[in-house]
Chains A and B, each alone.
Chain A
Amino acid sequence: KPKSLDILTPLPTPPWQPKGRVYSKNLLKMLHEEIDDYISFLIPTEAEHSMRQLTVDRITHVVQSVWPRAEVHVFGSFETKLYLPSSDVDVVILERSAYPPICLHQLETAVKRAGIASKIEVIRNAKVPIIKIVDALTKFPADISFNVETGVHAADIVKKFIDDPLSGEGLRPLLLIMKQFLLQRHLNEVFTGGLGSYALMTLITAFLKLHPKLQTGQIRAKDNLGVLLLDMLELYGSQFNYEDVGIGVNLERAWYYRKEIYQNPRTCPLQRGPPRPTALCILDPQDPTNEIAGATRAWPAIRYEFMRASRLLQGMIGAGYERLHAGRHVNVPTLLGSILTVRKEVMEHR
């Protein structure tokens, strides 16, 4: 009989684990403790945050040399510090007289003349045209877009979701885990069919707001990060019927609806028309006529990854319990590291 692969095969120790850290033998508790370590590790240092701020300041300076009264804003994850070490700095320019494609050319020229970028690339043909630069001094990559008001207001929404007394404490950790989860699987960029961070934030918020135990105050998110991660991966990975059901979230509440109510093209209030049957369907918390996940063509792949991760973690916890129950030694260096890897390269800024 061939020996099956041991689900608790030791993995390399991940970089977020403090030296000499001893975790609980109860693997569910261990998962929770690992999430705490991962989040502490990802909190940006003062130095990193100010280097990002400097990148924004340098861009602002160049932008205002072209359009003196332009407003320069940073996307949602900056102020809330919900970015990964590897995240781009997302800058939005609000200036009525600037419109693509001319403004792209104007800014490109100005950036080159000021010499602030070691790399510059203009993406003209995307739905939202952007200029990608790498700051020559801070080395941070930045994406610059024009007049995307929703991105500016998104920052306020994220802040309000984070401040929600029942679900807010869960949003930051789950978002930082799932951002990295999607990033390392190349499923995080909207223009390649992935799930962008705004839609991801909305998806996680819906899970938290509708979780029976969280919304009734039976549990607190910060005490239950491991089991909430597992509940979420199970819900969106194997249970949620996204062919028939869509998700809505606003500041007050979250809800589901039957996608068929939007099927009639003549009465459908959604700006981009009826949702595709196979697509994940999420309404923008800022505007219920704006569907924000329809472009996520890789959703079946993302869903599959959620399911795999949930099965793997569930299996590891079960195997650990069984072993402990049988009086055997349990030595698992990491559970979270079986679904997340933070590479050395992305840690250069730390």
Chain B
Amino acid sequence: KDCDASRDDRDCAFCKEHHRVMECPGVWRQYIYTALSSSKSVPHEKDAHIFCYECGLEGHFGDDCPHQGRSRRRGPARDGAFSTKSLRQEYKFERYR
């Protein structure tokens, strides 16, 4: 029951991470996937256009930007829509219906 003792009202009911569910990106970032993508190899991944909204360079997404600007302005990156994870695999959270 240690687990329960350490829980507080900031433990997200959706993903169990330490934030309020109102601040949870997983609870709303739920995609309906096409049948096509259920196979492991995503068809056009190698042709993807990858640009960074943070530094403007090509080759990485803004959520993964290694450059400084981000910490200055917006806090740590999350595995959001514009991240390599988003390109490679289904979002880490389970769908709720």
Contact = CB atoms under 8 A, between A and B. Distances in A.
B97 interface: yes
A318 B27 contact: yes
B28 A209 contact: no
Given A26-B96, A212-B86, A317 B28 contact: yes
Contact of B56 (A231, A244, A253, A313): A244
Dominant SS among interface residues on chain B: loop
Contacts of A314: 22-23, 25, 28
A239 B28 contact: no
B8 to A, nearest CB: 14
Contacts of A257: 56
Interface string B47-91: 011111111111001110000010001100000111100110010
Contacts of B20: 318
A318 B29 contact: no
A238 B51 CA distance: 17
A253 to B, nearest CB: 6
A209 B82 CA distance: 12
Interface string A217-243: 111100110010011001100111100
Contact of A321 (B13, B58, B83): B13
Dominant SS among interface residues on chain A: helix
Contacts of A244: 54-56, 69
B81 A28 contact: no
A259 B69 CA distance: 15
A315 interface: yes
B56 A245 contact: yes
A155 interface: no
A131 B37 CA distance: 52
A215 interface: yes
Bin chain A's interface residue count. 35 or more
Contacts of B73: 241
Contact of B28 (A211, A219, A230, A254): A230
A191 interface: no
Nearest to A231: B81
Most buried by A among B62, B63, B69, B74: B62
B55 A258 contact: yes
A97 B53 CA distance: 45
A319 B20 CA distance: 9
B81 A211 contact: yes
A256 B83 contact: no
Interface of A: 7, 26, 28-29, 209-213, 215-220, 223-224, 227, 230-231, 234-235, 238-241, 244-246, 253-259, 313-315, 317-319, 321-322, 325-326
Interface of B: 13-14, 20-25, 27-34, 36-37, 42-45, 48-58, 61-63, 69, 73-74, 80-83, 86-87, 90, 96-97
Given A212-B48, A240-B62, 5 more contacts: A26-B97, A210-B51, A211-B82, A244-B69, A321-B21
> Which 5 A-B pairs have CB atoms at the shortest separation, nearest pair first?
A245-B56, A256-B51, A318-B22, A212-B87, A258-B56
